[in-house]
Each structure stands twice: as C-alpha cells, then as structure tokens.
Structure 1
Amino acid sequence: MLIVMSGLPGAGKSSIARELGRLLPAPVLSVDPVEAAMWRAGVDRGQPTGLAAYVVVEALAADVLALGQTVVVDAVNDAEEAREQWAALARRLGVALRYIEVICPDRALHRRRLEARQRDIAGFAEPTWASVEARRANFDSWREDRLVLDSTAPLTGNVQVALAHLGDAR
C-alpha cells in the first residue's frame, strides 16, 4: 500500500507519519531531507530541487512497493500534480493508495508549532509563517478521497483513526 501524507509545514503530518511507520511497520520517505541532501551535495538552490526531491522519493517508494511492502510518503503534496504523481505510481504498480491530509485549524497553535520545531535536517531552513500562509492560499483543492486528521486532537487518537482507515483498505 502507498500511504501519502499531505498538509502544510508544521501541521503535524510528520509526527503521524513516523508513528504509522513505526506501527505498521513501513518505511517513511520524506521529501525535505532529500532536498536538503541535494543542496549539501552542491546542487544549486536555484534549481528545481523541490520537484527533484519528489521524483527521488517516488523512485525510492517504487522500489519499496515492488518488494511488496507498504511505504509512507511524507510531503506537503499541496499541488494536484504532486498527488497525481502518487496516483500514477500506485496505478503503475497495482497497489492500494491512501491519502491522509493533516490539518491544524487553530492557526495560533499551528504557528507556535512551526516556529518552535527544530528538525535535524542539515542545511534545511525551516519555513516561515509567511511562507506557510502563502502555501495555504495556494493549496490546490482535493478531488481525491482522503482521510482528514485534525492535529489539535491527540496524536495517539489520530494514529488509531489512521490505522483503522488503512485497515479498511487492506
């Protein structure tokens, strides 16, 4: 199964993705560390490294799925084209696809989380609140079925809801 996480930076999707990966168990492939690795390798930040990171994660996900294993993709996935990329991969490999969107409807809490987080991704600057708000304004509407989780709810409850949702797909 291909599980695709979606949501704005700081909304809480990575926390849920990590727990899903631990409990299923399944590898969690995140776009941000891949992009940061490109920069550390000398790829110019002016290049489309964000798009390239999605393509690299897709290739890795394809390899994991070809082994018959579940994989969790952790990325913003705010563009319809990004979500179609995962749908095409699932179709090509004949695997189930499940989208999970994580939202934080409390903007003050979302901002506090974003500004307080410290991920250990060498060379990757955390996004600003202004950049998150800009992404929110341009987040493509969904056509695909998805589970929406509110990250103001406890992590354990959200993970249990996600596992139940994913269990229905198996």
Structure 2
Amino acid sequence: MLIILGGLPGTGKTTIARALARQLHAVHVRVDTIEQSIRASGGLNSDIGPAGYVAAYGVAKDNLTLDNTVIADSVNCLRVTRDAWLSVAERSGKSAIEVEIICSDKVEHRRRVETRKTDVRGLAKPTWEEITNRVYEDWMPRPLVIDTAKRGVDELVTDLISKLGLIKKSTKS
C-alpha cells in the first residue's frame, strides 16, 4: 500500500510519517531529504523543480514492487503531484490512500514553523510568510484529514492506523 501524506510545512507530516513508518515497519520516502540531497550533489541549482518528486516516485515504486508499505511524505500542494503519487501505486498494482495533514490552530501552526529546527543538513525551512503565500490547491475529492492541532503523535498514529484498516506487523523474530 502507498500512504500519501501531504500538507503545508509545519503541520506535522514528517513527525506523523516517521511514527507511522515505525508502527507499520514501512518505508518512509521524504521528498525534503531527496531534494536536499540533489542540491548537495552540486548537480542542480537551488531551484530543482520536480527532480525531488520524480526521484521519490521511483524509490516508492521500487519499494511497492517489493510489497513494502510506503509512506510518501511531501507537501503535495499541487494536484499534479498527488495524481503522480496515485499513478505510482496504480503502476505498481498497489492500493493508495491520500491523507492530508493539517494544523487547524493557526497560532500553533505558526509557532511550530517559527521554532522548528531542520533535521536535514543544509535544508532551509520556509518562513511563515512563504507558507501562507504558497499556492496550495484544494484536495478534490477530499482525502482523509488528520488534524495535529490538539492531539499527540501516538494518538494520531493509532487513529490513522485504525482509519486505514491496517494492522501493525508482528515484531516477532
């Protein structure tokens, strides 16, 4: 299965993606890491365009073909990127579910954006102004929505796993 997470920066996508990947023993494909790695290679300038997403689609497809659950972690602000993720699942013969991560409390969302540190060397996080001015196309049809404003990560992930109808893989040896 391909679990496609999207949402504005600072809503908690990566935090949710990591916790979900741990619970499901899934592959976490993070576009921020891929994009920054491409920048660091010196092969492209800072505006790498779709290269990070295209590389992520390939990594996801390879892992889906191996029957791994894949969690795609990216802003997905454009319908074209969301459609491309769905196409990856279709070409792999796997199911996909779209999950939009939001933070409905704008004060909390801004606090997160303005206080978080990057965990990807060299990655410049967007400012609150850049986030609020970003083009962010509406998700139609509406995906599953997870609001990170008032609940903790463990509770959100447990709820998400339940909504997805997934069962944690056994940790037995």
Q: TM-score range with shorter-chain normalisation?
A: over 0.9
Find 1:165's aligned residue among 163, 166, 173.
163
Percentage identity across paired residues of the two chains: 37
Aligned to 2:3: 3
Which residue does the alignment assign to 1:150?
147
Alignment partners' CA distance in 2, 1:121 and 1:15: 14
3-state SS, counterpart of residue 50 of structure 2: helix
Number of equivalences: 166
1:63 to 2:62 alignment: yes
Q: Answer yes or no: is the 8 Å Cα contact 1:35–1:50 preserved in 2.
A: no
Q: Which residue of structure 1 lines up, in the alignment, with residue 26 of structure 2?
A: 26
Change (3 A) 1:50 1:166: farther
CA distance in 1, matches of 2:72, 2:147: 19
Give the superposition deviation at 1:50. Answer: 4.1
Which residue of structure 1 lines up, in the alignment, with residue 127 of structure 2?
A: 128
Matching residue's letter, 2:153: L
1:41 and 1:74 mapped to 2: Cα distance? 21
Partner of 1:86: 85
Q: Which runs of 5+ in 2 are unaligned?
A: 168-173
Match of 2:113, SS state, is helix
Quote the residue 1:118 is aligned against.
117
2:94 is the alignment partner of 1:95: yes
TM-score normalized by the length of structure 1: 0.92
Is the Cα–Cα contact under 8 Å of residues 2 and 95 in structure 1 kept in the other structure? yes
> How well do the aligned residues superpose, as a CA RMSD in angstroms?
1.5
SS in 2 for 1:140: coil
The amino acid that maps onto 1:109 is: E
| Stretches of 4+ aligned residues off by more than 6 angstroms | none
- Say if 1:108 and 1:150 are closer, same or farther in 2 by CA, change over 3 A: same
CA distance in 1, matches of 2:20, 2:49: 24
The structural deviation recorded for 1:145 is 4.6
Unaligned runs of 5+ in 1: none
